[in-house]
Every structure is written in structure tokens, then in C-alpha cells.
Amino acid sequence: MGTPDDDDDESKKGHRELLTPEPKQLGKHIQPYACATILFLAFILMVLFGLHDLASGWHNHVDHSDSTYTSAGRPKNVIFMVSDGFGEAGLTLARTYKNTVLAPQPVAASKQPAEHVPLYLDTFNVGSAHTYSADSLLTDSAAGATAWACGLKANNGQIAVTPLERPCATLMEAAKAKGMRTGLVVTSSLTDATPAAFSSHVRHRGLEHSIALQHATDRTADVLLGGGRR
């Protein structure tokens, strides 16, 4: 039978044993947390490497199942859009109308006109070009479209011909020669100067009968959709 002091020592010893588990028990408590930590770190590394591969693939890999691109990563289809007669003056007018009529901007305390909010179309504007035809400082639709279609200057009124009235190869003819499907979709008539310059060759834009005949016989364009009803 022990003394009271011995009983106190035994109770303290038992208390310490409860607070300080044995090494084997300690390992049992730590092991699940260690495994969870390792799995979590592995998951983080997988995510980081996965994002890196995804970012690299976004720039370097082309999805060959996407018909928009070729196996070389180049665009498969090209849509050439022309806003005929629309220039910087029209863009300025549209911007002014939007900021003063459609969505007026508040006037600053200085009474100075508020800065105009840009149009969505402004995000597409990456530059401008100084244009002139082969025989004039002012370019008409025929010479302008010929410059786009053939990559050379022509006299005003000429459709896909040189100033010496020799036919020049057009972008649409080059696409057709490569086996691509081609088409013209316009709100004007199909014999108008702008669409005509991509698929026909005449010495003057007024020869619309000849332009129409070339549309029908040369078949440079597989699809023809136009307006022009009078």
C-alpha cells in the first residue's frame, strides 16, 4: 500500500502518458495527415504542369479536327469584307452621333466637351493607307477594288486590268486555281465595280453586260448573291 505522495506520483505519471502518446501511436495519428498533404501537393503540381501544357498547346498546337485551320495552322477560309464608300469621315460621324445623341456623355465641371467613347468598330482599326489610282489623286471603286484584287494600281474606271488594259490575276482567281470554293455576296448589283474587280476583267466599269457574261461563263465565283434591283 503506497503513501499519499506515491499516489500523486502515479497519477501524474498516468496523466503524462495520456498527454504524450507512444511513438507507434504518434505515427498512427500523423500518417493520415502526411498522406493527405502529399496527395494535395501532388495535385497542385499536376494542376500547375497541366496549365503549363495547356498554355503551350494553346499557342503551339492546332486542333486538326477544327475545319477552320489547315494542318499547318493557317486559316483555311478567307472572308474579304469591303464597306464600299465608308471611310474615316463616316466613322467620325458615327462616333459623334453615338456620344451626343444615342448615349450623351456628361459635361465636365470645366465645361469642356466630354471625351468620346470609342465605337466597337474602333477596335478593328489598326491603320490607314494613303490611296490614289494610276491616273488620279482620287480613287474610285473600280481602281480601289482592282488594287485589292490584283495588288497593282489601275486607272479610275478600270476593272482588274492594268493601265495598258491587260488583265491582271485576282485573289479570287488564285483561290480558284488552288481548288478553293469562292463566292461573291454583295448588297449592290453583282456587276458593280467593287465585286466585279475580283472575278472579271473589263476596260471600263460601265461594261456591266460584259461583266455579267464573265460571271456566267468563267465561273470564277461558285456562289453569287447580290442585289441591285432598280
Residues belonging to the active site: 141
Distance, CA of 223 to chain centre: 25
Residues in contact with 130: Cβ distance below 8 Å, sequence separation at least 6, in sequence order: none
Yes or no: say if 133 and 152 are a contact pair by the CB < 8 Å rule.
no
Cell of 25: 501511436
Distance of alpha carbon 168 from alpha carbon 125, whole angstroms: 29
Exposed, middle or buried, 170 (CB in 10 Å: 0-12/13-18/19+)?
buried
Q: Which helix (H) or strand (E) holds 224?
A: strand 223-225
